[in-house]
Amino acid sequence: MNHVTTKFLEVRRHAKRHAPLANLTNEGIARVKQASACNRSYAHVVTSPIPRAIQTAVAMGHGVDEEDWTLGSMGAPVGESIIFDAGFAAIQHAIRTDRTAGLYAELQALQLRHHLTQVEPGESVLVVSHGGIAEAGVIGLLPDVDLSG
């Protein structure tokens, strides 16, 4: 792989919180500080505007360059098909069988591609969002990969 021409994208879900509270727990902050991404540098950091996503990036040691509202919520129609904690295989199935979920995955993929335009070759983008949203974006970028396992 030619690292001089390649751009890197890392997509993460926010760290642990106690629902319905918006903020991370102490355990969530401690775990994210141990994450491998803490030791990496990112040319561009994007989060949803929801506090727990921002707090995750900051706990990892990265300032937030951009808040993207499309990373914050799936909305009711999509949320009925994409269950946030169902895992990649179930989310991929929803995306492949439900038109609304499929379009949502395409939207998320477009947003992720847009964020990659903000960096130069050899640089990295960190995106922190939420359960279901992160998976939909990755699946949207890789629609032909079979995740049924």
Which residues in the chain show pLDDT less than 70? 1-4, 21, 36-38
Q: Is residue 82 domain-resident? A: yes
pLDDT at 79: 86
Is residue 135 a part of any domain in this protein? yes
63 is a domain residue: yes
CATH number of the domain at 127, please. 3.40.50.1240
Is the peptide bond between 143 and the residue preceding it cis, with omega within 30 degrees of 0?
no
Q: What pLDDT does residue 21 have?
A: 66
**Could you list the residue range(s) of the whole structural domain that residue 35 is in?**
8-141
SS3 call for 12:
strand
- Please check whether residue 129 lies inside any domain of the structure: yes
Helices 26-33 and 51-59: crossing angle in degrees, nearest 10, is 40
Half-sphere exposure of 109 (CA within 13 A, CB side): 14
Give pLDDT, residue 37: 58
